[in-house]
Amino acid sequence: MISFDWAMKRLLRNKANFAVLEGFLSELLRRKIVIKHIGESEGNREEEDDKLNRVDIFVEADDRELVIVELQYDSENDYFQRMLYGVSKSITEHINIGGKYTQVRKVYSVNIVYFDLGTGDDYVYHGVTDFRGLHTHNELQLTAKQQQLYTKTFAGELYPEYYIIKVHKFDDVAKNTLDEWIYYLKNNKIRDDFKAQGLDMARQILALDKLSDSEKKRYWQNVEVRRVRDSEMETAFLDGETKGLEKGLEKGLERGLEKVAINAHSKGYSIDAISDITGLTAEQIRQILKKSD
């Protein structure tokens, strides 16, 4: 069984395979999700100094809802702000200039992380906006006209929702169908007794032996480059921690990515494969290789 992150980049964008991602989102959001369109994997960059709004999959579920699905392996202290930035940018990019605020679409931010993001004893967290009276503690409702317009009851339901799945915290005991998905995200395996939506299709299209020879080669390149990267990144972070400064950690991360790119290239891996794993653009990789000559 191939990894979910590689499948998202390579296979799940095909409309014929939407059922896999639809199943995962339906289990997570606890209602049926039908995907209309999967967009580009990286937001538009409007200004030279604008941060890239990097996401793995951007889904249009219907005319009112957008879903961002992102996988993150490396620890980032500012990841919570990154989630907020990604949602904010998605909202502004999907409203026409001069359009009414009724065009603002609800966004779900789904974050599958493989590191400690905050502290807590659960492996799935759900964040919502909740308007409550300071004195009565009642939740603020929409008016009857607003409820008809938005098909929502409470004001907070119009606002973005965030999901954080801390995969490494999962104990491998699947107590429900969402857990079956998390088991796959952690172990790259789907047990025969799993019944969650989308997993039957995943068994069919995500099996390694179903890939073409060229896809298999690309996949194993991806696995090997990730292994090299993890080793380099661990060393880089240890070096940064020794310095005891946040800037040291940032510099260690930068140097670690550079070493991954150089080492992977020396082993014959393509720039595309290196980009998949490091998150660096093809141009950034070329510049690193040019400096190392």
On average, the pLDDT of the chain sits at 83
- In angstroms, the CA 127 to CA 259 distance is 37
- In angstroms, the CA 27 to CA 178 distance is 5
Residue with the bigger pLDDT between 132 and 74: it is 132
Distance, C-alpha 286 to centroid of its chain: 26
C-beta of residue 123 within 8 angstroms of C-beta of residue 167? yes
Q: Once rounded to an integer, what is the mean pLDDT over residues 35-40? A: 82
- Residue 9's pLDDT is 78
Residue 280 has pLDDT above 70, yes or no: yes
- In angstroms, the CA 198 to CA 225 distance is 29
Residue with the bigger pLDDT between 22 and 274: it is 22
Q: Which of 51, 61, 48 is nearest to 21 (CA)?
A: 61
How many CB atoms are closer than 10 A to CB 233? 21
Q: Once rounded to an integer, what is the mean pLDDT over residues 142-156? A: 95
Strand pairing report for 124-127 and 57-60: unpaired
How many CB atoms are closer than 10 A to CB 163? 19
Distance, C-alpha 30 to centroid of its chain: 19
- Residue 228's pLDDT is 67
Residues sharing a CB contact under 8 Å with residue 139, sequence separation 6 or more, in sequence order: 130, 131, 132, 154, 156
- Residue 110's pLDDT is 96
